[in-house]
Amino acid sequence: MADASSETIRSGEPIEMLLNMGPQHPSTHGVFRMVLWVDGEKIVDLEPHIGYLHRGSEKLCEGEQYHQVITLFDRMDYISNFNNELVYCQAVEKLMGLTVPERAEYVRVILCELNRIISHLLYVAAIGLDAGAMTPSLICFRARERVQTVFEAVSGARMMHNYFRVGGLKEDLPENFEDMIGELLPLLRDDVEESDKLLTFNEIFLARMKDVGTISADDALDYGLTGPCLRACGIDYDVRKAEPYSVYDRFDFDIPIGLDGDCWDRHYVRMQEMYESLRIIEQALAQMPSGPVTSSLGRRLIRPPRGDVYVRAENPRGEIGVYLVSDGTDKPYRVKVRPPSFCNLSALKHMVKGAWLADAVVILGSLDIVLGEVDR
């Protein structure tokens, strides 16, 4: 039911009906809330409400030691934990001038790319449900389960891994990792292909996604869109290529792009990215050296020198940035995160205005937000 007291914005149009979507709505991907002004089935205006999942993560970081902060980063974008851990660890390493052992870098890349795949799989599951198809979601969740089993063997947890450390990893991979991932990758490729075939070129799915929620490349840049949402507009900007971090410059992979910047292009870009991630994983497995996985630092309490650092990386949802200020103690003075979901979400109003009610759900799904990261 609509909340009549929400009178914060007024459009010039005559308001036919005020419709409240969320925070308890099946397709708002968590606790996001959209207040929609609808004229019949057409959306006249929209007001997004965020903050239902605000936990003060950035402030909490200031009260924790450097290694304890990793767990907080796990819980920001809780769909792509490894990627979040990676960017934080890289920030601290850059501040301290640490070099990470080769093997640790490769393990990080493999895990991050696996995480990118299962994050995109979750997106496919969600967009399928948003568009009304239930079968892709089950295929995707089955695939996610397989990957998460490997994650559990590696780190001890299916999500919230807390596996990366400043200067390397918590411990080396389990002995049977090669076998596990050798078994996993063909199955994973099958599942990705299956969901791709089921959804991407489906006639009804195309009708629902094509020319819906279109945003031009200029507008996308103005709104600060990153990740698949930006690449769907035809801009091949990927931090892994534009400013290679870790060992990403050693792999051969493409940056999938779209042309029109509509929902279907965003879907298509994510689908192709999964195949590219599989390529990266295969190359990384072939190149992976043996050796230590922790730096000379060991497990000592760390006190980075005074200073600040900004590090960015490519998350499944886009470019994540971490601004870290150290005052020389064992706890960070300030941690600021530039979350991709939040910036992508800001374009929602631009895309949804004038669309159909059913489109709002699909557009929100195609932005692929994670509220844990939006609200932090």
Partner 1 sequence: MTAAIPVLAIGLLDVMWIAIGLFVLFGALSFVVLSLTWLERKTLGRLQRRLGPTRTGPMGIIQPLADGLKLILKEDIVPSSSERAIFWSAPVLVIVPAFMIWVTIPASHDAVLRNLDLGLLYIVAFAVVGILGLVLAGWGSANKYGTLGGLRAAAQLISYEIPVIMVVISVAMLAGSLNMREIVAAQSAYPYALIQPLGLVIFFIAGLAEVGRTPFDIYFAESEIVGGPFVEYSGAHWSVFFLAEYINTFAIAALTVLLFLGGWSGPFLSENWVIVWFLLKVYAVILVIFWIRGTFPRLRIDQLMAFAWKVMVPLSFFTILITAIYKFYEWPAWSLTLMSAAGLLAVGYAIYRRMVGPAHRVAQVRARQKALREARLASTQSPGGTTNVV
Interface contacts to partner 1, rule CB under 8 A: 1-2, 17, 19-20, 25-27, 41, 128-135, 138-139, 142, 198-199, 201-208, 210, 217-218, 221, 233-237, 239, 241-243, 254-260, 264-265, 268, 356-359, 361
What is the nearest approach in angstroms of partner 1 to the Cβ of residue 89? 22
Distance (Å, rounded) from C-alpha 235 to C-alpha 349? 21
Residue with Cβ nearer partner 1 (9 or 242): 242
Beta bridge partners of 315: 318
Burial class (CB in 10 A: 0-12, 13-18, 19+), 217: middle
CB contact set of 300 (below 8 Å; sequence gap of 6+) = none
Q: Which is nearer to partner 1, 73 or 264 (CB)?
A: 264
Fill in the DSSP letter of residue 170.
S
CB of 56 to partner 1, least distance (A): 31
Q: Which is nearer to partner 1, 76 or 355 (CB)?
A: 355
Q: How far is the CB of 346 from partner 1 (least distance, A)?
A: 19
Q: Give whichever of 72 and 278 is closer to partner 1, judged by the CB atom.
A: 278
- Shortest Å, Cβ 293 to partner 1: 28
Cβ closest to partner 1, residue 132 vs residue 298: 132
Q: Which of residues 52 and 177 has its CB atom nearest to partner 1 in the complex? A: 52
Report in angstroms how near the CB of residue 105 gets to partner 1 at its nearest.
19
Q: CA 192, CA 114: separation in Å to the nearest integer?
A: 12
Instruction: Check if the beta carbon of residue 376 is closer than 8 Å to that of residue 54.
Output: yes
**Minimum CB–partner distance for residue 154 and partner 1 (Å):** 26
Length of the chain: 376
Alpha helices (H) along the chain:
57-61, 69-74, 81-96, 102-131, 135-155, 177-199, 203-209, 217-223, 228-231, 239-242, 263-287, 340-345, 348-352, 357-367, 371-375
